[in-house]
Structure 1
Amino acid sequence: MNLQQLRYVVATAEHRTMTDAARSLYIAQPALSRAIRDLERELGLTLFARSGRGVVVTAQGRQVVKLAQEALGAVKEIESLARQSGLPGADLRIAATPSLEPGLAGRLLPAYVSQHPEIRVQIVRCEGREDVVNAVREQRADLGLTDLPVPADLVSRPFERQEIVLISPPGTDLPDPVPMARLNGMRLVLPARGTARRREFDQIFVAYGVRPVAAVESDERRGWLRAVGEGSASLLWYRGMAERAERAGLVVRSLDPSIKKVIAMVHTRRRLPAMAQDFLTMTERGSAA
């Protein structure tokens, strides 16, 4: 049993459907159902009973939910005691996705450290937006850098828009920029079905009336560029990945019309340490410049 499972139990009890609870947690519904089943098996208890399209909390489940809420509240209070001071020599922890980390490390952090040399900055590396959200929620990070949208329980501070580009194997016969119509029938590396990221891509495809072929469906981002390099497919991703892709010998092209996503700093609805607030102020000033 871990804190993440307790959060899943509380969310399921609050929303009364696995679908709505999963959406609020920013995870796929099958992953939530599996986690709940694993916890029930571990505890030897039935926490939820199926009821139509929703779930009902059992008598045992109500006791577990109450204790889970108390435990999560206690964890937040303990962590707040340790994180509120922002004293010199403290760590500022920022969660970031692989595609956005280069901009954080190369542009934002040097500007911040030059103004606050007494603060140590730690990048919490996350596989994707869902991991950033969880890192911030669990207070493993003070701030998160990700694209929008994020769940409503987090505060988002938009500060830039980043272009989505097409990363292709060398020798691919395409113009630059690539008309969106050319994505029709194109073999692409895509996130796994049922994930929030995949739904966003599917919405883009519907909006432009194109039907790419899902050649690779995976949330293992480390393998995405490798799949492109092997000639399996092309990849839609952020301009921030362009340098890494080009170093791997891949070709980066813009899209026509251009598609951009809003990038934001996100945090929980709590009093932030002074060092985190200073970082937010710096990013907001930079976006207004």
Structure 2
Amino acid sequence: MTDAARSLYIAQPALSRAIRDLERELGMTLFARSGRGVVVTAQGRRVVKLAREALEAVHEIEGLATHGAAAEAELRIASTPTLEPGLAARLLPAYTAEHPGVRVHIVRCDGRDGVVSAIRDQRADLGLTDLPVPPDLVTHPLERQEIVLISPPGLDLPSPVPMARLHGMRLALPPRGTARRRELDAMLGKYGVTPAVALETDERHGWLQAARSGQASLLWYRGMAEQAVRAGLVVRSLDPAVRRVIAVVHARRRLTGIAQDFLSAIERGRAA
């Protein structure tokens, strides 16, 4: 309930009241309460299935309406903050050049879980994230990206950098409690590494500024490292190497023509 309320940007008590009101209106129990939380009842699952079918039909009708009015068409793509610069710089230009009448709206999400929620809640048509994702989503892998260490010049570090050398290193990291921070903590914890937190922010430009000023290093995808090199920073691989598969994901339902066009555009880009 807490996670659902957060994804809807409302307080958890307000969500609970809304569910109780809906149950009274429908005259059925959608969630069964237990000591460990709530579970969806058989009736609840049926309601969810029918509601999703109804929403899909509404979106299809909207798609028919916007298909003939390209100036009003919109493609919603959910993305993590880390991958958003690459989406804007490498994936969107070719698509928008072919479809100038489509407005692309990037739904910024907190990590992979946020992208999955945006797709499931139909707040986005497509998502860009690293894998794995739950099996109820369809994946279109784009590339395998390496996670690298980006540091201020002058640091006495080998290349590649052994994981153990990150222990005690001053790093710029996402805020505590975020999905991306939990993933990085788990990755570092696997090697017994505890960095010194120099900066906690979700703003990637803040990370680069911290590195340029010599305050901290950061972990980022190699695909984004060109920006760091232009800023005069040093990019090094890790040992052992850490790689993630980046993919476009969507729900297992018929996509709008606009979303299908986007997938076709990136497939052509990969083939080229």
2:104 counterpart letter in structure 1? Q
Percent of matched pairs sharing the same residue? 56
Deviations 1:173-217 (A, max 9, x none): 223332222112212222334443233223322333433233334
Query: Which residue number in structure 2 is paired with residue 8 of structure 1?
Result: 4
Give the match for residue 207 of structure 2. 224
Corresponding position of 1:269:
252
Q: Distance in 1 between matches of 2:99 and 2:14?
A: 46
**Cα RMSD, aligned residues only:** 4.0
Q: What is the CA deviation profile of residues 254-277 of structure 1, one whole-angstrom value per residue up to 9, with x for unaligned ones?
A: 223322111000112221012322
1:280 to 263, 268, 271: 263
2: distance between equivalents of 1:237 and 1:50?
41
Could you list the runs of 5+ residues in structure 1 that have no partner in the other structure? 10-26, 58-62
For residues 114-150 of structure 1, the C-alpha deviation after alignment (integer angstroms, 9 at most, x for no partner) is 5x44652514151543443344334343212121233
Equivalent residues, number: 258
Rounded to whole Å, the distance in 2 between the matches of 1:82 and 1:232 is: 50
- The separation in 1 between residues aligned to 2:117 and 2:19, in whole angstroms, is 24
Map of 1:14 onto structure 2 = none
Relative distance call for 1:191 and 1:38 in structure 2 (3 A) is: farther
> Which residue of the partner structure matches residue 36 of structure 1?
12
2:67 aligned partner: 87
Give the letter for the 2:168 counterpart. Answer: G
Instruction: Indicate conservation of the 8 Å contact 2:76/2:107, yes or no.
Output: no
Residue 225 of structure 1 deviates from its aligned partner by 2.7
Structure-to-structure mapping, 1:36-185, within 5 angstroms? 36-37=12-13, 39-40=15-16, 51=35, 54-56=36-38, 75-83=55-63, 87=67, 89=70, 90-113=73-96, 116-117=98-99, 119-129=101-111, 130-185=113-168
Equivalent position amino acid for 1:256 in 2: D
Structure 2 CA distance for aligned equivalents of residues 235 and 201 of structure 1 = 11
- With over 3 angstroms needed to count, the CA separation of the structure-2 counterparts of 1:146 and 1:84, relative to structure 1, is farther
TM-score (norm 1): 0.68
Which blocks of at least 5 consecutive residues in structure 2 are unaligned? 22-30
Question: 1:163 offset after TM fit, Å?
Answer: 1.5
* C-alpha distance after superposition, 1:67-97 (max 9, x if no partner): 9988776555433421357725233333333
Task: Say whether the 8 Å CA contact 2:173–2:199 is kept in structure 1.
Answer: yes
- After TM superposition, the score normalised by the length of structure 2 is 0.72
- 2:169 aligned to which of 161, 166, 186: 186
After the TM superposition, list the runs of 4 or more consecutive aligned residues in structure 1 that deviate by more than 6 angstroms.
Answer: 41-45, 47-50, 63-73
Deviation at 1:156, TM superposition (A): 1.9
What's the CA shift for 1:278?
3.1
Shifted more, 264-273 versus 123-132: the winner is 123-132
Do the aligned partners of residues 280 and 72 (structure 1) sit closer, same or farther apart at CA in structure 2, a change above 3 Å counting? closer
Counterpart residue number, 2:236: 253
